[in-house]
């Protein structure tokens, strides 16, 4: 059996960012499941994401099933959920819409962590929706019952809550096409393109999300949108141009600009 030390050495040589951590998790997974440790290490050497190899990604309190065809949820998105929970008003059954929901990381976390929020999750990719439904099925019953899944473009669903939503949240695609060479092999080769690319300045989908939110939100409702660490000024400008007020930008736990919030005026 390959040792953690040898696996870590090979992963480091292959350019993996956290070789010791990945080596430990892969060998632990092999021991727990009977999978071939050599095959797992070789796949990670070829830069298949760790989460695809072990089959899940930890995100806040959830273990989300992930694999080919769905974006792997990132730790930096966890603070976005905090912002949503902080913006949910203190009334029974607040409404939250998660646009571009992927595996369900944000929307399912809100349903899991809030005792009564009703959550609409909207995702355009059929494969991503399959992973999302699987993750929804793993939530406790009362949380599951408060979630509606829409396999649709962000502009097409939900159709029955215009002007009634308390919080719209999104972690949309936001990588600019010219940033292609800055993206790690795990991301470029294994996260779906539809989850990443968003036009020349990376703001194409953020612009659509902001427009859509102005329709969905009730007066006083809040929009929360994740962006890249290079969009800490341009994303708030999109919010302000759409007429949102109290617009502010926020840092993630590593101190980088990460998401914008704004309010629909009353
Ligand atoms: C960066 S991923 C984020 C996924 C998830 N929210 C998360 O934080 O892990 C963006 C997601 O948006 C979806 N998407 C892209 N364009 C969309 C559109 N026009 N309407 C709905 N979903 C879209 C992609 O398929 C992908 O799952």
CA of 97 to the centre of ligand 1 (A): 13
Kindly report the number of other CB atoms within 10 A of residue 35's CB atom.
16
The rounded distance, in Å, linking the Cα atoms of 117 and 94 is: 5
CA of 100 to the centre of ligand 1 (A): 3
Check whether 181 has a pLDDT greater than 90.
no
Return all residues near 29 (Cβ < 8 A) that are at least 6 apart.
35, 40, 53, 54
Mean pLDDT, to the nearest integer, of 41-57?
97
CA of 12 to the centre of ligand 1 (A): 31
Global confidence as pTM = 0.96
Kindly report the number of other CB atoms within 10 A of residue 133's CB atom.
15
Q: Is the CB of 172 under 6 A from ligand 1?
A: yes
Check whether 243 has a pLDDT greater than 90.
yes
């Amino acid at each position: 059996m390959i040792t953690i030390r040898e696996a870590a050495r090979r992963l480091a040589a292959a350019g993996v960012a956290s070789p010791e951590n990945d080596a430990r998790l892969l060998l632990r997974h092999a021991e727990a499941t009977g999978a071939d440790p050599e095959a797992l290490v070789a796949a990670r050497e070829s830069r298949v994401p760790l989460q695809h190899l072990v089959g899940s990604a930890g995100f806040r309190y959830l273990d989300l099933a992930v694999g080919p065809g769905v974006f792997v949820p990132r730790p930096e998105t966890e603070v976005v959920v905090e912002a949503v929970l902080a913006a949910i008003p203190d009334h029974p059954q607040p409404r939250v819409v998660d646009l571009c929901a992927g595996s369900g990381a944000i929307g399912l976390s809100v349903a899991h962590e809030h005792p009564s929020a009703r959550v609409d999750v909207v995702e355009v990719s059929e494969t991503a929706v399959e992973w999302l439904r699987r993750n929804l099925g793993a939530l406790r019953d009362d949380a599951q019952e408060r979630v509606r899944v829409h396999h649709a473009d962000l502009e097409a669903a939900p159709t029955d809550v215009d002007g009634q939503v308390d919080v719209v949240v999104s972690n949309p695609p936001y990588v600019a096409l010219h940033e292609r060479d800055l993206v790690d092999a795990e991301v470029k080769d294994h996260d779906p393109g539809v989850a990443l690319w968003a036009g020349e300045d990376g703001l194409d989908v953020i612009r659509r999300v902001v427009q859509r939110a102005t329709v969905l939100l009730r007066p006083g409702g809040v929009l929360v949108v994740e962006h890249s660490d290079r969009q800490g000024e341009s994303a708030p400008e999109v919010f302000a141009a759409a007429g949102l007020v109290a617009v502010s930008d926020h840092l993630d736990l590593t101190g980088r600009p990460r998401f914008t919030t704004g309010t629909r005026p009353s």
